Structure 1
Amino acid sequence: MKSGESAIALHPGRQAILQAARSEFAKAGFHGAKMREIAQRAGVSQGLLHHHFQGKEGLWNAVGEQASAEFLAYVSGVVAQDTLDSQSIPTAIRTYLQYWRDHPDAFRINLWRLLDGPTDERKSRSRSLNERVVPLIKQAQQSGFLRTDMPTGVVLCIAGALVQFWLHNRIEMQDAIEIGGEEMPDDETFIHHIMQLIQRPTSDASVVKGPKTD
């Protein structure tokens, strides 16, 4: 258990503050959130917020760390290094999509992070998560499951960005598809389309092979 998680467990008041801050940041973003509103939601004084987090930026960082830990725990079962194959990659995308569906407040905070969150926190969070995930995508490329004609990070970002767009641009997506004379696909069909973009073309490997073993 990380020290931050231990502190949360030991201080119920601190956990109440984090939950209140998460709700307020989801509603108003970093700059729009008010410390007095967070204190009122948590049922504590503003002084206690500053005591635990030294200001709004510290509180934003703590909420982000909590969300990152929550996300990694949610997807941990499908991103193990020994399970990256033609079945588990779509499962990982499906789980990523479902995480955002199950945690709408985290999804909204993530969108706010792109608009007005502190740059240092965004960079730190991005680096931490990508250092965990990019090597797994690289391994999948090397194993022949994902295309290798583009950088590993681009493969990852294509999948992630399309899932995000699928969730927060439903109106635009539906209009584009329906004007084209087709029906809005379900999640599984959309994930299939993502895989068609990032998987290794069958012309390169008619049979998908697993990692080489000695």
Structure 2
Amino acid sequence: MSEAAPKLQQSPMAAREAFYRETLIAAAEDVFARCGFQAARMPEIARKAGLSLGTLYRVFAGKDELYDAVHRTRGEQIRAAAAGQIEPGRPAVINLFQGIRAYIEYFAEHPGYLRMHLSSGTAWALPTGFETTAQMETWQQGLDLMASVLDAAIEQGDVIRDDSRILARSIFALHQVRLAAWMEGDPERKQDKELLIETTLNALARAILTDAGRQRLRQAGLLTGEHV
């Protein structure tokens, strides 16, 4: 039996550059969330990251590139979190709601990015007004993924019959409203991530599921409350 090929290790230089990139993205997310894109300043981002301004400009050519990198990185993470909940052979409506749960949970755990995303004023249900290519690509990929799962759930009788892409965009709109209200709410209430997830899933179930779909989710433990 041949020995397994050894894993390639990242060079110290590549590891350092990856660290710089991740640190700068996290710092930029915080500054963009607090100040907005126009008012954000690169020296402040460098200070927040604990790195020199020269290092910042070596990793990112300018503010536009850094802003795009924040959206691209977070968008890829959100999409991976949702897609990771899809299990072949499982009812599509369960895959759908598990994916939505992961999506909402991600935003709740990254309030800086949520604030940054909301402050742009873009309607999440519309394919217009995006500030970066990364945002547009993430939106389109998310729409395609959700529509494909919705198509399967419709065929299985668990989601109301409608255009799956319109349903997906309606779900995006509901997410935006619920998450915005959560961000504006009582600070103590904002600590209750599970309450946010529960109320969002329940509202969505009332909006798009058939009786059979709601029953399936209750049996799976994904819905709670008497009025769902």
* TM-score, normalising length: structure 1: 0.71
Unaligned regions of 5+ residues in structure 2, if any?
1-12, 123-128, 187-194, 217-228
Picking from 65, 73, 87, the partner of 1:66 is: 73
Does residue 92 of structure 1 match 2:104?
no
CA–CA distance in structure 1, aligned partners of residues 46 and 103 of structure 2: 32
2:165 to 153, 157, 169: 153
- For residue 55 of structure 1, report the CA deviation from its aligned partner: 0.7
1:169 aligns with 2:176: no
> What is the CA distance between 1:156 and its match in structure 2?
1.4
Q: Which amino acid aligns with 1:139?
A: A
User: What is the TM-score with the length of structure 2 in the denominator?
Assistant: 0.67
Distance 1:126 1:15 in 2: 22
CA deviation map 1:28-50 (0-9, x unaligned)? 22222111111111222323222
Q: Match of 1:55?
A: 62
Aligned length: 189
Whether 1:16 aligns to 2:23 is yes
Q: Secondary structure at the match of 1:78?
A: coil
Q: Any stretches of 5+ residues in structure 1 without a counterpart?
A: 1-6, 175-184, 209-214
2:121 equivalent to 1:144: no
Within the alignment, does 1:194 sit opposite 2:204 as a pair?
yes
Question: What is the alpha-carbon distance in structure 2 between the residues aligned to residue 81 and residue 8 of structure 1?
Answer: 36
Establish whether residue 125 from structure 1 lines up as the match of residue 138 from structure 2: yes
**Corresponding residue of 1:33:** 40
Secondary structure of the structure 1 residue equivalent to 2:84: helix
- CA offset digits 1:101-121 (Å, max 9, x no partner): 111112112113445862544
Counterpart residue type for residue 206 of structure 2: Q
| Separation (CA, whole Å) in 1 of partners of 2:48 and 2:196 | 37
| Aligned partners of 1:29 and 1:117 also within 8 Å | no
Answer yes or no: is the 8 Å Cα contact 2:30–2:113 preserved in 1. Answer: no
Q: CA offset at residue 169 of structure 1?
A: 2.0
Percent identity, aligned pairs only, is 24
Matched, 1:104 2:114: no
**Which residue identity is paired with 1:32?**
A
- 2:46–2:56 contact (8 Å) kept in structure 1: yes
CA contact (8 A) 1:57 1:118 kept: no
Q: For 1:69 and 1:199, how far apart are their aligned partners in 2?
A: 28
Q: CA RMSD in A?
A: 3.3
Moved more, 113-122 or 15-24: 113-122
